[in-house]
Structure 1
Amino acid sequence: MKQRINAFAYSMRALLDAAQGKDVSLETLLKGLGKKGQAALLILLSLPFCQPIQIPGFSTPFGIILAFIGTRIAFGNRIWLPKYILDKKISYHHLEKIVSVSIKITDKLRYFVYARFSHLVKNPILQIMHGLTITLLGFVLALPLPIPLSNILAAYPLAIFGLAILEDDGMAILVAYGLSLLCFFVLALLIWLGKEGLASLFQ
């Protein structure tokens, strides 16, 4: 397990070195991260929103990208990422911040996430469920909700899905589903409260 986490950190640093201070496209990130590129991108693009101080203006584009990655996990290479998404560039300055946060957090988690109950990750039918759940979470992250720290609700399960797929950790997958249910419940509650508030205005 440590080898994969270490490989993830090494790949992140290698991407920064290869960028040489220039902006990096999503296509370059996918190629640079190798076979587990989609899982690594789930981690890379969601971890910045797992903390109170977040990078502003990135939740919507990153959420849309994560939603597309979810469809690829669900349906395999039959779903191609649109060129305009592959060409989406992340500035070196922001990429450096994202990589720094990602490496710090994955380093702390390396003793808790490892290969176990791998069939819960690799089963083809369950992979469709994983991908569709990730897609929904991506769209939730992309929503411009005027609620403080609302991105965290979607970001944590997305990051854990990424770690679980990266490490073939079925226990982590179950944790990701638990946090996903919490996210959807809170979102549904907010929508219901919003409707109740609007209804009271017209009574």
Structure 2
Amino acid sequence: MATNAAPEPEQPEGTGELPLESPRALTVYVARRRKLSEEMEALKARSAEGELTLREAIVVLGVRAYTLLLILLSLPFITPIPLPGLSTPFGVAVGLIALRLMLGQKPWLPEKVLNRPIPPGFFGKVFKFAAGVIRFLEKLLKPRLTFLTDTVILYRTHAALMLVAALALLLPLPIPFTNTFPAWTIILVAAGLLERDGLFILGGYLAFAAGVLYFVFLGEATQRALVWLKDWVVSWW
């Protein structure tokens, strides 16, 4: 009998590139995988050794690399860590990964993005601010509402949401919290896909909705400010 549930994938080689015949392709091998904080600690240790690239980060992160990258590259946007020259490559990388997942294709990044150098110790600084968030997520994450992660069409819908959020990260707006909501959307949805936690995915949709409301509020406030400024200028003539 036909079913929307995806079949179990074959075991990958451990290069960080995973088959995507099913939505579960990035969330298997429970016995082998490390905790999220352990994945981050491994990358932190490698970052402390010197400059590294996203290509090297993928090797360090192993079989769940691309889903972990969605979280990893979004974390800096919720911390006060400056991203000189990195915000655009990070946003592009997240967007490309989400796009490929949405299309049901194997994650892929262009050579220019893969080879982009990341300053030594950068991830250590990020994890210093985000360690509490990561451990908090770890305690809450568990398989539940798995129909939201194991159904192909829903999986691709979640990827489309992350793609839209990634495009929002690319907007050069010097306004507080404009990156926070999209980043949280990606973090929550990716974490939900990683651990088959549908409740976290719903949290990602709520974060996205809150971001939309925030942008609408900003638009209304800006429009009213411009009208007030226009009236003030006219009153002086």
Q: State the TM-score, normalized to the length of structure 2.
A: 0.73
1:100 match: 128
The answer as to 2:55 corresponding to 1:55 is no
Taking only the aligned residue pairs, the percentage that are identical comes to 27
The answer as to 2:62 corresponding to 1:34 is yes
Number of paired residues? 201
Q: AA paired with 1:55? A: P
Mapping for residues 1-203 of structure 1, pairs under 5 Å = 6-19=34-47, 21-51=49-79, 53-57=80-84, 58-78=86-106, 80-191=108-219, 193-194=221-222, 201=230
Paired residue secondary structure (1:161):
helix
Note the residue ranges of structure 2 that are not aligned, 5 or more in a row.
1-29
Query: Alpha-carbon deviation of 1:20?
Result: 5.7
Q: AA paired with 2:43? A: L
Note the residue ranges of structure 1 that are not aligned, 5 or more in a row.
none
Query: Alpha-carbon deviation of 1:164?
Result: 0.8
Residues 127/47 of structure 1: CA separation in 2 closer, same or farther (3 Å cut): same
Paired residue secondary structure (1:117):
coil
Query: Alpha-carbon deviation of 1:192?
Result: 5.2
Asked if the contact 1:121/1:127 (under 8 Å) is kept, the reply is yes
Deviates more, 1:184-193 or 1:160-169: 184-193
Q: Residues of 1 paired with 2:56 and 2:64: CA distance?
A: 14
Paired residue secondary structure (1:165):
helix
Larger of the two Rg values belongs to structure: 2
Query: Alpha-carbon deviation of 1:56?
Result: 3.8
Quick check: which one's helix share is greater?
1
Asked if the contact 1:59/1:151 (under 8 Å) is kept, the reply is no
Structure number with the bigger relative contact order (C-alpha 8 A, sep ≥ 6) is 1
